[in-house]
Chain A
Amino acid sequence: MDFAIDANDLGKRYAIGELQKYKALRDTLTNAAYAPFRTVARMFNGHQSSNSGERNSIWAVKNVSFQVKPGEIVALVGRNGAGKSTLLRILSRVTEPTHGHARIRGRIGSLLEVGTGFHPELTGRENVYLNGAILGMTKAEVHRKFDRIVSFAELEKFIDTPVKFYSTGMYIRLAFAVAAHLEPEILLVDEVLAVGDGAFQQKCLTRIRELTDQGTTTVFVSHNMHHVGALATRGIYLRGGSVFRDGDATEVIQLYFDDALRSANAASTADIADASGDNHLVFEVNASNRQGTAELDPGEDLLVSITYRSLPPPEQVHFNVSIWTEQGLLVTSADSRFTTRSGFPASGDGVVRCVFPTLPLATGRYLLKAYILSGDAALASFGWDDGRACTFVIKPKLADVLTDFVWYPTQSDYGLVRVPFKWSSDYDC
């Protein structure tokens, strides 16, 4: 059988020094004065074969082997830094592996970002052609699909306006419209589904399904387990750069969450403080009821406290806490940007608290994510993708049969949210 993707023992090593943005010629010249031959050799070889390479380097991806059959949809799952994006970059040929071999059969369409290569000075029309060419479409192909792209983006009126005058929403719509009309045999998608609103995300998912029906093979990265569950038939769970589990998508999601929660309990505050010299840091997130336990009765108040460090800049920061189901569905979020205009002072270590009065959620376990924000940028995050998690449980409870709420159903049976309701009938009892 011919696999669409056949990866064998892929590895990618980065020199730690490469994390610094670029080198000054001065340093190389100074080195050259001391060790002329070695420096010349190194300039030609890059960082790859220097002797110190093994010591001062990390393997972002290591020993990764897997095969993907034509038409499969595979999700890459894992924490931040697990190597998902690096693997995707290797498969899309943006960067070379240090080790191993992969064979890909079919035209590759890689979508590591929407709108790559868009130029603000150019009009929508011009950008469609430019972006199409960058994504690998021919001019004739873009020309043929042009009208469909524009109507997909719903931008007929503004297509000859420079995109610098577009709103963010218009920009994303146009960028996605071009990408959506790419018809590759192999589609590689990074976390691009995260941008845009719900309707936009739905459009993305629908389009990926359509392509799959036409036989496209898809490998995608998402932090949204709900998307993974809805779209993928198979999941590959990467941990520390290697394949930890490769199997049925639902199984892999469950394993990933269990894993995240288990390791979260192991990480202590001190470890985290040691590990990072960051100016912004979430040490701990705690969820409980008024009595201080993480097992709530239905309808109790939920208290969330965030222990954090925040040093300027910026002077003011905001916080966001969100509640997720174990299947990765976002239930709700509390964002201080909506309620307190000025934010909180970034003046060292502190604790912020957020109350969700009479939390109307169904029975089950929930996960929390927290962010320190400035404007639209996340300065620090706390969640299972960072290997840390905070959970709480809504306990099942049988209430008094004479009250309105007889019993509290589980998430899967009756939905996530408990809302008050009252039955009546035309026949008076």
Chain B
Amino acid sequence: MHSTEVPIFDIQPSSAWRLLDTRELWRYRELIYFLAWRDIKVRYKQTAIGIAWAVLQPVAMMAAFTLFFGRLAGVATDGIPYPLFALSALLPWQMFSRAVTESANSLVTDQRLITRVYFPRIIVPIATIIAALADFVIASGLLFILMVAYGVPFHWGVLWLVPFIILMLVTVLGVGFWLSALNVEYRDVAHTVPFLNQFWFFITPVVYSATLVPPEWRALYGLNPMVGVVEGFRWALFDSGASPGAITLVSTCVAFGLFASGIIWFRRRERTFVDAMGSGGR
């Protein structure tokens, strides 16, 4: 009627092990965009300073860290000015922290939607992570301004940021898939997330340098994929600290492992989301 090609949908119990249907995701790209857009809009809608929060938060954290860890505690920074040292790690860290918190709750927050309309469920955590990316981009602008102010010379090595941003996204998506799917059935997850965030913060080299960790332990340290991300960011931006090595390799393997297993788990549990949610409430 409206198009020459009539789509055919087969409805039946799906097989247990499914990977990502990327073609279907592509068809739903506009919905991903609109859900992310909604999250960004709503987040700053009723705030007085709006999107400036995206700048204010990392600046406040950076200031506090610079005073206490940089000045008072005198943490070694491999020669980078402490504010830059902190901010370069705060960028991926805050992205991680926000994305994990919001994606963990995403399916439950949108259960009204999920129980009433069909769409690939995995786009819900993906959209929240894209929304979190907006803050990351704004805070990145701040970092580059600061780098110019501190007179950090430009070098093409900065392009190495790209693979580390991808590593960050893979990590965040992997954790997001796991937590959002688990939270549908076990609301304990939502209570665990603040604690998880705090714990993860201390095992990630945000306020200190990964070089504090003895070399023989570094590979083990890299099991936390955010270690690889943060160290990669610093190395790409300032060409300092440990160059990519064992940490990066281990972190990359863990990140992709989380990502793949997250998809499998999510797709596996997806089939029972709606049943677990009931009618989804009013």
A residues sitting closer than 8 Å to B (CB atoms) are 10, 14, 18-19, 21-26, 28, 44-48, 89-108, 110, 112-113, 116-117, 119, 121-122, 126, 129-130, 133-135, 138-139, 162, 183, 185, 214-216
Between-chain CB contacts (< 8 Å), 13 pairs: A24-B188, A91-B11, A96-B13, A102-B11, A104-B8, A110-B117, A117-B113, A121-B45, A121-B46, A130-B37, A134-B31, A138-B30, A162-B45
Let me know if A107 and B117 touch, CB within 8 A: no
Q: Are B38 and A122 in contact (CB under 8 A)?
A: yes
Contact A44 B2 (CB under 8 A): no
List the B side residues contacting A107 at CB < 8 Å.
Answer: 2-3, 7
Please provide the chain B residues from 250 to 270 with a CB less than 8 Å away from any CB of chain A in the complex. 268-269
Within 176-230 of B, Cβ neighbours of A (below 8 Å) are at 184-189
Q: In the complex the two chains form, is B186's CB within 8 Å of A103's CB?
A: no
What's the count of A-B pairs with C-beta under 8 Å? 133
Closest to B271 in A: A96
A215: chain B residues at CB < 8 Å are: 1
Enumerate the 7 nearest inter-chain pairs by beta-carbon distance, A residue then B residue, closest first: A93-B118, A25-B188, A133-B34, A102-B11, A46-B272, A95-B274, A25-B186
Residue from A19, A104, A133 in contact with B278 in the complex, judged by beta carbons closer than 8 Å = A19
Closest Cβ–Cβ distance, residue A87 to chain B (whole Å):
11
**Does B140 sit at the interface, judged by CB under 8 A?**
no
Task: Say whether A110 contacts B7, CB under 8 Å.
Answer: no
Chain A residues with Cβ below 8 Å from B119 are 134
A121-B46, A135-B117 given; A93·B188 CB < 8 A: no
Instruction: Across the interface, name the chain B residue whose C-beta is closest to A133.
Output: B34
Residue in A closest to B16 when the chains form the complex, CB atoms: A45
Cβ contact within 8 Å between B186 and A93: no
Number of interface residues of B (CB under 8 A): 45
A185-B2 in contact given A126-B41, A133-B30 (Cβ < 8 Å): yes
B116 at the interface (CB under 8 A from A): yes
The answer on a CB contact under 8 Å between A48 and B272 is yes
State whether B42 touches A122 (Cβ < 8 A): yes
Q: Does B276 contact A (CB under 8 A)?
A: yes
| Nearest CB of chain B from residue A323's CB, rounded to whole Å | 29
A421–B122 CA distance with the chains assembled, in angstroms: 66
As a 0/1 sequence over residues 1 to 37 of chain B, the CB contacts with chain A under 8 angstroms (1 = contact) are: 1110011111111101000000000000011011001
Contact partners of A47 in chain B: CB under 8 A: 272, 275
Q: Are B38 and A22 in contact (CB under 8 A)?
A: no
Nearest B residue to A109 via CB reads B117
Inter-chain contacts of A101 with B (CB < 8 A): 10-12
B38 touches A116 (CB 8 A): no
Judge whether B240 is part of the interface by a CB distance below 8 angstroms: no
Contacting pair A94 B118 (CB below 8 A): yes
Q: Is B276 in contact with A92, judged by CB distance below 8 angstroms?
A: no
- Write the chain A residue with the least CB distance to B191: A25
Beyond A23-B186, A116-B112: 17 further Cβ-contacts under 8 Å? A22-B185, A44-B268, A90-B11, A94-B114, A96-B11, A101-B10, A102-B10, A102-B12, A104-B9, A110-B118, A116-B113, A121-B42, A126-B41, A134-B34, A139-B34, A162-B45, A216-B1
Partner of A95, one of B46, B269, B275: B275
Q: How far is the CB of A322 from chain B (nearest CB, A)?
A: 23
Contact indicator B11/A104 (Cβ below 8 Å): yes
**B10 near A28: Cβ-Cβ < 8 Å:** no
Tell me if B7 and A106 are in contact (CB < 8 A). Answer: yes
Assembled-state Cα–Cα distance A126/B34 (Å): 10
A108 to B276, CA, bound (A): 24
CB distance from B277 to the nearest CB of A (A): 9
The CA-CA distance from A146 to B11 in the complex, in Å, is 32
B3 CB contacts on chain A under 8 angstroms = 107
Check if B274 sits within 8 Å of A24, measured CB to CB.
no
B224 to chain A, nearest CB (A): 23
Are A117's CB and B117's CB within 8 A?
Answer: yes
- Which interface residue of B10, B12, B114, B119 has the most chain A CB atoms within 10 A? B12
Complex contacts, B13 vs chain A, CB 8 Å: 96-99
Q: Identify the interface centre among A45, A96, A99: most chain B CB within 10 Å of its CB.
A: A96
CB distance from B77 to the nearest CB of A (A): 40
